[in-house]
Structure 1
Amino acid sequence: MAMTIGTLDWANAGDRLDLLADPVAQAIGDLEGVEVAEIDPALADTAAFCERYGVDMAESANCVIVAAKRGGEVRYAACMVLATARADVNGVVRRHLDARKISFAPQEDAVRLTGMEYGGITPLGLPEGWPVLVDEAVANHPGVVIGSGVRHSKLALSGAVLAGLKTAEVLRLAL
């Protein structure tokens, strides 16, 4: 199935591993229907990307890495929400992860722990055991654009693929 999102030239991600971060390339092997397109890395941020490549913000999803703290322990998780929404990090996410305190993971930590570039972090290929909290709107989306682990490409896939990841949990995350 070829994606027709925006003005991008999509290709099967398994055929273009050179456009993916290493952890993403390793994770892509078992997944069906994941496509990749090369982009200008200067336009990786969502608003600039959507404007330049004709992708509606409602067809783009952002991956936010959070650090959940309780009793001296820090656990990390990824939250997937449409670019038109914000994740309820201090409410739904904090309660779901049973954290006393929650915050966005510092950029350096997110990059080091994921092995991905900031601005391209994606739920595919995250460290084992990290929960992937997928907003219902993303899970039900027929074709959404997400990061590829690097700033010079994007992935397109159905929300069902994200919802089907081993550590995925579908919730109502958006504010």
Structure 2
Amino acid sequence: MTSALERLDLLADPVATSVRQLDDARIGATEIDPELADTAAFCEKYGSPLELSANCVVVAGKRAGEVRYAACVILATTRADVNGVVKRRLDVRKASFAPMDDAVELTSMEYGGITPFGLPADWPVLIDQEVANAPALVVGSGVRRSKLITPGEVLTNLPNAEVLEGLGR
């Protein structure tokens, strides 16, 4: 693992911009086989504990014809409480995972590499308390060919970050 600041070439453009702005040497980057970007495959191949991986999922809900998006960052061992915690936070009648094509287009990231770094400025980044407390986590880099390693605390410093108890179940 190398400092992500030294390997911006491994990151999607919006992720590289975010990492540069945070300027935190604790964020690491490592190159991986893009065929193994999905969490379970990555953890199995590279011997990374599933409980030290976090997934970032894009959720959408509608209110008065307006689509509201949020990113949810949860431990890989949990599932996002989309129809409870997220629905209430977005103040929508129904929330669901955003369609893959929409998530990819809106984030300018690859499917399977979406990360809390570099998301659209108007999206809330909802972070489970367990993620925020983690000493180190593997997260996406915006592309399938690499991963970021970061303390959970760094994620709480992202723009629009909100730590929510019970987001991951």
TM-score of the alignment, normalized to the shorter chain, above 0.5: yes
Cα offsets for 1:71-122 (capped at 9, x unmatched): 1000111000000011100111101111111110000000001000000000
Give TM-score scaled by structure 2 length.
Answer: 0.97
- 1:158 corresponds in structure 2 to 151
Cα offsets for 1:125-150 (capped at 9, x unmatched): 00111100000000000000000000
Q: Does 1:26 align with 2:17?
A: yes
User: SS in structure 2 opposite 1:30?
Assistant: helix
Q: In the aligned structure 2, how far is the partner of 1:76 from the partner of 1:92? A: 14
Q: Does 1:101 align with 2:94?
A: yes
Letter in 2 for 1:174: G
Letter in 1 for 2:160: T
Hey, which bits of structure 1, 4+ residues long, moved more than 6 A? none
Q: Identity over aligned residues, as a percent? A: 64
> Are 2:121 and 2:159, in contact at CA under 8 Å, matched by a contact in 1?
no
Cα-Cα RMSD: 0.7
User: SS in structure 2 opposite 1:25?
Assistant: helix
- 1:54 corresponds in structure 2 to 47
Correspondent of 1:144 among 130, 137, 140:
137
Give TM-score scaled by structure 1 length.
Answer: 0.93
Question: For 1:1-175, what aligned pairs fall within 5 Å after superposition?
Answer: 10-31=1-22, 32=24, 33-172=26-165, 173-175=167-169
Q: Structure 1 residue 164: deviation in Å?
A: 1.4
Give the count of matched residue pairs.
166
- Structure 2: gaps (5+ residues): none
Q: In the aligned structure 2, how far is the partner of 1:134 from the partner of 1:98? A: 17
- Structure 1: gaps (5+ residues): 1-9
